[in-house]
Amino acid sequence: MKMPSWKFTLPLLAIVGIAWLLREPIREEIRDRTTLANEAPPPEVVSDMIEQSSDPQAALLKSWNSGKIIQREVAIDELRRIFPPQRSLPTRFHSLLLSAALDPDTDVRELAFAIMQSRNDPALLSLAALLLRDADPQSRYMGLRYLKHASPSVGAPLAAALLDDPDLGVVAMSTKLLQKWSGDSFGVKLVDTVLVEDKTTGLQEFSADGSAKTKAAAEKAGTWWRQHQSEYQPPQLAVPAEATSLKLVLPTDDFQLRTIDGRLVRLSDYRGKVVLINFWTTWCTACMSEIPELVALKTEHLDDLVILGVSLDLVPDEDGDIGGDDDGQKFDPKDPRAADLLRKIRDKVIRTVHSRGINYAVMLDENDDVGGRFNGGELPTTVIVDANGNVRRRFVGARSLPVFESMIAEASHPASQSPYQFSSYVTNSGLAEVIK
């Protein structure tokens, strides 16, 4: 006996109707999952995902909680767009912002501090003061930069503690701030602290004259401080608990690349050791100047540190050039000459490894699989991964051997022993720690 056709048609129409009604949520869910799972998405793709979402705030949180470098950087930048200064910041997003200010990724830190300043966040000064104890001089400099609007009673003791900092840029900033707060002239001028290019290394550094003037001014500032120190009480700056308690662990997914001699290397091969990943190119002057520091670092840590140099010479830049070529000839993989060009660039990397005496593994990231993951397009970019496979540092720019040593020592200890677990104040002898 034949069943009425409507008994089949009605359920089918119902299914089609439900699918039609849910088409946008389903499409959005697929897009979100794909974007968040991508190890190296273009930043604009992540931005579009958040901005086009039916719930941008939820999408922002998903990006932040993904634990991936690109997605998290975009999430913090989008927070500034979704919540402009005149709009109240919900508690969960304020907590996120506080934790971002002490993030392992320096780019995230800088974005977070800029947002806090635009919002006149009351936690800004305490978090800026906490950065003054960071192993990275660039973070200490950033901390001083955001302290410049502090009152003399808060700022002067903090700046005075850094007058003998090993980094001259930090010393210069400390001296200028003390000059501002004291009303005295220590002889340091803005022109003296302008960096100039070293003709040998290509790095931006203090001139000999500027260096001498800065050191002389710092000595005068130190004299002033010793004479007036008794007039200042150590500033008590409470660090919000969210800044440390909500910090995310950033595990790194495994990757593999071949070294210049054809050996396959996996990040997971080195679990149990601290790994420093340095993204560089042969045409990057700052990268070249940093190589001797990395060579010396590896010599000092033959057994307890792995250094992986990832060359991005074969990755086209934003202009479509590879190998630092800027002659206007765009790289085209379909060009019959492409294979020859790639071989020449590989040979150049190999020659550089030998001529520079590089004593650590160097790999070619031909497809930007790893560089894109860690946003290694900014050069040099360095990522420090601890023995458990978690990112402990990510920063852009060359660093010195002593700075690398401090960062490696830091990554060799559990993250729970980070200096950011403490509040900060100043004593007569300088910065000190008080466990909350």
Q: What is the pLDDT of residues 387-411, one digit of tens each?
A: 999 999 999 999 999 999 999 999 9
In a domain, 293, yes or no: yes
Same domain, yes or no: 405 and 268: yes
- Give the per-residue pLDDT at 154: 93
In a domain, 138, yes or no: yes
Give the DSSP H or E segment for 157: helix 152-160
**Residues 6 or more apart from 415 whose CB is under 8 A from it?**
247, 249, 386, 390, 392
Same domain, yes or no: 183 and 232: yes
pLDDT at 283 over 70: yes
Same domain, yes or no: 2 and 106: yes
* Rounded to 5°, angle at Cα 142 from 109 and 159: 140
Same domain, yes or no: 114 and 69: yes
Same domain, yes or no: 170 and 298: no
pLDDT at 280 over 90: yes
When comparing pLDDT for 312 and 10, which is higher?
Answer: 312
In a domain, 423, yes or no: no
pLDDT at 111 over 80: yes
- Give the per-residue pLDDT at 205: 75
pLDDT at 240 over 90: no
In a domain, 99, yes or no: yes
Same domain, yes or no: 284 and 407: yes
Q: What pTM value is reported for the model?
A: 0.87
Over the stretch 308-359, which tens digit does the pLDDT of each residue have? 999 999 888 777 777 766 554 566 667 777 788 888 999 999 999 999 999 9
- Give the per-residue pLDDT at 360: 97
| Last-in-domain residue among 120, 152, 167 | 120
CB of 238 within 8 A of CB of 195? no
- Give the per-residue pLDDT at 18: 60
Instruction: Write the DSSP symbol of residue 251.
Output: B
Q: Stretch 150-168: mean pLDDT, rounded?
A: 95
Same domain, yes or no: 182 and 51: no
HSE-CB at 98 with a 13 A cutoff on CA atoms is 22
When comparing pLDDT for 140 and 333, which is higher?
Answer: 140
pLDDT at 119 over 70: yes
In a domain, 429, yes or no: no
Q: What percentage of the chain has pLDDT greater than the value 70?
A: 84
| Last-in-domain residue among 120, 148, 183 | 120
Over the stretch 254-271, which tens digit does the pLDDT of each residue have? 999 999 999 999 999 999
- Report the chain's mean pLDDT, rounded to a whole number: 86
- Give the per-residue pLDDT at 197: 65
In a domain, 102, yes or no: yes
- Give the per-residue pLDDT at 423: 36
CB of 394 within 8 A of CB of 378? no
DSSP assignment of 168-226 = HHHHHHHHHHHHHHH----S--GGGG--EE-TTT--EE--HHHHHHHHHHHHHHHHHHH
Distance CA 298, CA 304 (A): 9
Same domain, yes or no: 386 and 281: yes
In a domain, 436, yes or no: no
pLDDT at 1 over 70: no
When comparing pLDDT for 131 and 19, which is higher?
Answer: 131
Same domain, yes or no: 191 and 232: yes
Same domain, yes or no: 309 and 395: yes
Residue 203's pLDDT band (cuts 50, 70, 90): low
pLDDT at 4 over 60: no
| Last-in-domain residue among 179, 213, 239 | 239
Question: Which domain, by its residues, includes 293?
Answer: 256-416
When comparing pLDDT for 378 and 55, which is higher?
Answer: 55
For the chain, how many structural domains are there in total? 3
Tokens, residue 175: 């001296």
- Give the per-residue pLDDT at 266: 96
Q: Stretch 102-107: mean pLDDT, rounded?
A: 94
Residue 244's pLDDT band (cuts 50, 70, 90): confident
- Give the per-residue pLDDT at 424: 36
When comparing pLDDT for 196 and 305, which is higher?
Answer: 305
Q: Identify whether 56 is preceded by a cis peptide bond (ω within 30 of 0).
A: no
When comparing pLDDT for 116 and 17, which is higher?
Answer: 116
When comparing pLDDT for 141 and 327, which is higher?
Answer: 141
pLDDT at 166 over 60: yes
Same domain, yes or no: 211 and 353: no
- Give the per-residue pLDDT at 422: 39
Same domain, yes or no: 145 and 95: no
Q: Stretch 409-431: mean pLDDT, rounded?
A: 57
User: What is the three-class DSSP state of 281?
Assistant: coil
In a domain, 330, yes or no: yes
pLDDT at 25 over 80: no
